[in-house]
A and B are shown apart, each in its own frame.
Chain A
Amino acid sequence: MNTKNLKHLIPALIIASASFLYACGGSGAQTGGDENSSASSSTASADVDPDAKSDSKGLGKFTSVQLGPIDNAMADKGKAVFTAKCSACHKITTDKVVGPGLKGVTQRRTPEWIMNQITNPIEMEQKDPVGKALLAKHLTQMTFQNVSDDETRQLLEYLRQNDKQ
């Protein structure tokens, strides 16, 4: 290729990428606005002790979770999900890594709160009092790891099993 080709290439590239973005840029811009407004409206609250027991159900799609005896097969599936999607930041002991250690979490929190925090972490840490206190303590925003509703339930079962031991 020589410089003459090069001259044509740049406008071609710009047009190509502009059309690419026209196709998928709209929704992106919208989410951007959303995130900005929720970020600036958040104020850190230190009134809530993030280590204390709380009855909050949190914010998100899980409003009522029925618990039975621990299902070990389901917990095993939860363990696999945990290794793949959570273990970069969390341990199941009391040790903090990036986020808090999860031993005892099923005693401190309601099942709904846990499942909402897994599936809706950004809103939880912007609006839920316990979530805000956790963000203030650990300083790193948790992110949604594309965990399905079934997997979320399996994770809860794994955490329950972990707390029984």
Chain B
Amino acid sequence: MIPKTTTYYLRLAVANFIVLTILGLILRYIHITSIGDINYQFLLHAHSHFAFAGWMFFAIALLITNLINKDCLPRSFRSVMVLTLISAYGMLVSFYLQGYKAVSITFSTLFIVVTYRFTYLVFKKKALRNSVNELSFVLIKPALIFLCVSSIGPFALGPLMAMGFKNTPYYQDAIYIYLHFQMNGFMLLAVLGLFASALTVDSLTKSTKAWLNLFVYSTVLLYFIFTLWSSPGILLQLLAVVGAIINLVSWIVLCARFKSVWSDCSALAKAALIAISLKVVFQVFVCYPAIGSWTFSNRDLIIGYIHLLTLGIITPLIIDQILRQGFVSVWPPLNWIYIYTAVAYLALLFLQPLLAQFGISIPDYQLWLFGLSILFLLVGFALLGKVKAVHGSIER
């Protein structure tokens, strides 16, 4: 049975998802109407930083913790969860009030230190290795390494600014180190690892392991896609293309090798796996300069890409894990409402920029995006209600 404290923190994770959705809803609301003196960009910072710490890291870390500690939530892991909450809400408030300044930088730094501490705890005494199957370990281990690597980005910002590089592509590229290694590195591989932990798979053959490693470590080369916006020259472009192609080929091979798993997948997991396939294909297209420059200059496409990762891949796999690990009893309508909402939301973000090439604009575009955001909020409340029910029955 799941420890009571773990269930308690899982409720907090879902509550954070609701808070995150409300922030997104306000951002969308600003597009359709006027609501006084809200600084859109400060709120956007609050939304994105809270998403990384308060929802995705918090939920993923808790689910990994629950694999390692099935009987109780040790104090060391509990302190990680509490400090994550403090840094997440600290960032939420400080980014909203003052943008990227001393207080928000302090909370961001605290968050980075907490991620180091979590990584240490997971590897200490081979805690993870002894708790999960080989496939899961081969994915979660590099995920945590990339989690630590991502912090190179923010730590480089100070020196870059001091050396007068603030207005150069290097400064942006440092920010992208963080974004890329957080999302494509840590989050994506960790949720895949969590997904794998629930599968019954034989021990990996040598060649399967080699393909897995190609898929995992091509992530390093994929970073260079994020530098292509400033046309940095042929070497980086070459590295990006090689990364994108290795990533695509290894993903296809892995899909073929593990195809027997498909029939056991929930609808949520299937949707997420399809979304990964789309992402892996898009990466190759973006390396083509004409498509790349169009993509990088189009805000809806960038927002679409980020949400393809977060709402299309990471969040559904987190919810799938919440169900699989037994925090919530399966309730199929919830899965379907989530899938339809995410597909419609992402389709709008990708379709409008495409249609714009033919001079077509979707009527009430911003209104539709706002309306769909409300559905994400409903999913959050439904999920919270379900977790509560399980928690209640444990106490009785």
Contacts and interface: CB of A to CB of B under 8 A. Distances in A.
B162 interface: no
A80 interface: yes
A10 B246 CA distance: 8
B289 A27 contact: yes
Contact of A6 (B207, B230, B352, B361): B207
B230 A32 contact: yes
B329 interface: no
A30 B300 CA distance: 27
B26 interface: no
B242 A80 contact: no
Contacts of B237: 21, 25, 28
Given A16-B245, A88-B303, A143-B297, A3 B206 contact: yes
A34 to B, nearest CB: 8
Nearest to A40: B168
Contacts of B48: none
A31 interface: yes
Nearest to A79: B361
Contacts of B289: 24, 27-28
Interface in B169-200: 169
B238 A32 contact: no
B41 A139 contact: yes
B332 interface: no
A164 B174 CA distance: 45
A39 interface: yes
Contacts of B152: none
Contacts of A20: 241
A14 B242 contact: yes
Contact of B355 (A21, A84, A93, A140): A84
A88 to B, nearest CB: 4
B167 A42 contact: yes
B207 A3 contact: yes
A135 B234 CA distance: 30
A49 interface: no
B123 interface: no
A13 B242 contact: yes
B371 to A, nearest CB: 16
Nearest to A6: B210
B356 interface: yes
A53 interface: no
Interface residues of B, number: 46
Contacts of A82: 361
Interface residues of A, number: 49
B294 A146 contact: yes
Contacts of B31: 87, 91, 97
Interface in B228-255: 230-234, 237-238, 241-242, 245-246, 249, 253
Given A39-B168, A98-B40, A6 B211 contact: yes
A36 B30 CA distance: 34
A91 B103 CA distance: 31
B358 to A, nearest CB: 9
A139 B166 CA distance: 12
A83 interface: yes
Contacts of B288: 24
A136 B27 CA distance: 23
A113 B4 CA distance: 63
Nearest to A41: B167
A83 B362 contact: yes
Interface string B203-222: 00011001100100000000
Interface of B: 30-31, 34, 40-41, 167-169, 206-207, 210-211, 214, 230-234, 237-238, 241-242, 245-246, 249, 253, 288-289, 294, 296-300, 303, 352-353, 355-357, 359-362, 365-366
Query: Which A-B residue pairs are the 5 nearest by beta carbons?
Result: A84-B356, A143-B297, A25-B234, A83-B361, A84-B361
